[in-house]
Amino acid sequence: MRTHWDRHAGTWDAHLPSSDLFAELLDEVLLRAEPNPEAVAADLGAGSGFLTIPLLERSGRVHAVDNSDQMLARLAARVDGDPRLQVNRCSFLDFEPGEPLDIVVSNYALHHLRGRDKDLLCSRTFAQLGPGGRFVVSDIMVPLTLRPGQSGALRSKVWRMTKKGLPGLWRITKNAVRWIRGTGEYPVGPDAWTALLKSAGFTGVGHTAIGRETGVVWGTKPTQPAA
Ligand SMILES: C[S@@+](CC[C@H](N)C(=O)[O-])C[C@H]1O[C@@H](n2cnc3c(N)ncnc32)[C@H](O)[C@@H]1O
């Protein structure tokens, strides 16, 4: 099935170099993931390889996970058949690495998962990592919710778009329709991510904000099982 990102692969790739934000996110992810030539890594929602390629340069092998043929075709064109890259054309929650992982990273992708699926993904990732494995999530980290007391980010985003006139109103309408149909974006804040990682069993969980809306959260699978 053709996905949203099959239609927007080119737009996203053009957007990446448009801001220093992405370079900062990349640096932070690499710092927290601690890649090394022995490591087996996975990139969830790999796209055309924004994280995958730097990770591949620093790791033994990398699993790229994505459900968009167009995105993965772009990635394949960039790696020139490197046998150390394993492409997994599947949804995040269907990914089976078939071997213990040392590193799992993701950039700008996991906000596509609804709340309960984020929970499930954190538990699956914990199970897929070997002892000492690192999970690093870089993403939009403002909660888009109408819940009382937490709706500030959504209201200010809608206000900023409204000020752009008709194009802004068109984006609000499109996003609202996608959100209602369940194909939209469900970002949560750093506190929620931190709680998700801790509840999956990760330790050393930390967060850093980068830019107005984004951040990186990381955690480590303990080397000893919890008592
Ligand atoms: C905004 S792009 C980010 C791509 C890449 N991580 C980057 O930083 O350039 C989001 C990516 O997540 C993928 N994606 C979205 N939902 C997915 C899902 N449920 N399973 C697998 N991939 C998914 C999309 O196909 C797309 O390539």
pLDDT at 73: 95
pLDDT at 184: 75
Using a 6 Å cutoff on CB, does residue 54 contact ligand 1? no
Question: For residue 107, what are the contacts with CB-CB under 8 A and spacing of at least 6?
Answer: 25, 26, 29, 43, 45, 47, 50, 51, 138, 139
Question: For residue 185, what are the contacts with CB-CB under 8 A and spacing of at least 6?
Answer: 111, 112, 140, 144, 175, 178, 179
Question: From the CA of 57, how far away is ligand 1's center (Å)?
Answer: 21
Using a 6 Å cutoff on CB, does residue 107 contact ligand 1? yes
pLDDT confidence tier of residue 10, bands split at 50, 70 and 90 = confident
- Tell me how far apart the alpha carbons of residues 92 and 186 are, in angstroms, rounded to a whole number: 15
**Could you tell me where in the chain the CATH 3.40.50.150 domains are found?**
4-143+186-220
Question: From the CA of 122, how far away is ligand 1's center (Å)?
Answer: 16
Using a 6 Å cutoff on CB, does residue 49 contact ligand 1? no
Closest CA to 210 of 107, 98, 127, 101: 107
Using a 6 Å cutoff on CB, does residue 66 contact ligand 1? yes
Whether the CA torsion 33, 35, 40, 42 is positive or negative: it is positive
| 4-143+186-220 topology per CATH | Rossmann fold (3.40.50)
Using the atom order of ligand 1, give the atom closest to the CA of residue 16.
9
pTM: 0.89
Using a 6 Å cutoff on CB, does residue 71 contact ligand 1? yes
Tens-digit pLDDT profile for residues 35-51: 999 999 999 999 999 99
- Tell me how far apart the alpha carbons of residues 12 and 115 are, in angstroms, rounded to a whole number: 24
**Residue 4 or residue 129, greater confidence:** 129
Tens-digit pLDDT profile for residues 157-208: 788 888 889 888 888 887 777 666 665 788 999 999 999 999 999 999 999 9
pLDDT at 147: 67
pLDDT at 13: 82
Tens-digit pLDDT profile for residues 119-150: 999 999 999 999 999 999 999 998 766 666 66
> What is the greatest pairwise CA distance in the chain?
58
Give the closest residue (by CA) to ligand 1 atom 22. 66
Using a 6 Å cutoff on CB, does residue 52 contact ligand 1? no
CB 182 within 8 A of CB 163: no
Tens-digit pLDDT profile for residues 52-102: 999 999 999 999 999 999 999 999 999 989 999 999 999 999 999 999 999
Give the closest residue (by CA) to ligand 1 atom 20. 91
Q: Which two tokens stand for residue 212?
A: 């107005």
